[in-house]
Amino acid sequence: MENYHMLFGTAAQPSSSTSNSYNFLAGSSSLLRDHDRAQQPGHSGGSFLAELSGNSSKDGGASSPAAGRGESSAGPVAEADRPAGGAGKRKGEKKERRPRYAFQTRSQVDILDDGYRWRKYGQKAVKNNKFPRSYYRCTHQGCNVKKQVQRLSRDEGVVVTTYEGTHTHPIEKSNDNFEHILTQMQIYSGMGSNFSSSHNMFH
DNA sequence: CGTTTTTGACCTGCGC
DNA sequence: GCGCAGGTCAAAAACG
């Protein structure tokens, strides 16, 4: 990981502490998903943003219904809330709606410094993509914002970043540049069917 | 030394 | 009911 900054940042980010010079789209605003190809007739594609609704509730504090890991039972099973070993599930919780926003950017680096501190908590490969998807979480206490980064296999330069939730704390750094960045990016925000219904940004 | 990354295991939902 | 795909956690390693 120490390399990624260098391979690209040498010229673009001399010192990340203060300057935010990104080279995203840098000019090309249209395109992104047209040229190229498509394959896989029966791909299930749209799962990415398709199911925004439905999954929710969890986090928020101490209780995490969906978080049961079975193997932890080996040690002290502290919480009664933990469905150790089997089926345990909670329902009817507060339904926190967490908006999801997907940004499709064009950059060499997967992780763009948006001013927040992110901790990586997982990485998984998705079916139709060659590159794995990375899962990040905001390190701020109480801030349950999640973010996942996916880079398209066909276009190495295209990176899809999906934010989930809203930050409840101010940004650490001053990125007035960020607005400028957004302007340069193609922003897709929308719940679901927007994409899956037509076009395929993932092929 | 503290924090973050890495990686495998495990869980849940959906489809067949 | 089982299997696949996706998502998350947790322990250890790596890094500053």
Handedness of CA A118, A121, A127, A131 (dihedral sign): positive
User: Which nucleotide is closest, CA of A44 to its C1'?
Assistant: C5
Q: Output the distance from A123 CA to B5 C1' rounded to whole Å.
A: 11
pLDDT at A120: 94
Task: Say if CB A124 and CB A135 are below 8 A apart.
Answer: yes
User: Strand C: which bases are under 7 Å from protein Cβ?
Assistant: 4-11, 15-16
Residue A180 amino acid letter: H
Q: Considering only CA atoms, which of A75, A73, A97 is closest in space to residue A85?
A: A73
User: Which nucleotide is closest, CA of A87 to its C1'?
Assistant: B11
pLDDT at A137: 92
pLDDT at A163: 85
Tokens of A119: 């901790």
Q: Considering only CA atoms, which of A57, A25, A59, A52 is closest in space to residue A141?
A: A59
Nearest residue to C6 (CA, C1')?
A126
DSSP H or E stretch at residue A10: helix A2-12
Say what the pTM is: 0.59
For A115-133, how does the pLDDT look when each residue is reduced to its tens digit (9 = 90+)?
A: 788 999 999 988 888 888 9
Predicted confidence (pLDDT) at residue A151 exceeds the cutoff of 90: no
Find all residues with CB under 8 Å of A183, minimum gap 6, and list them. none
pLDDT at A159: 82
pLDDT at A172: 66
Taking only Cα atoms into account, the Rg of chain A, rounded to an integer number of angstroms, comes to 19
Mean pLDDT of chain A: 54
Measured distance CA(A193)–CA(A191) in Å, rounded: 6
Nearest residue to B4 (CA, C1')?
A119
For A4-29, how does the pLDDT look when each residue is reduced to its tens digit (9 = 90+)?
A: 333 333 333 333 333 333 333 332 33
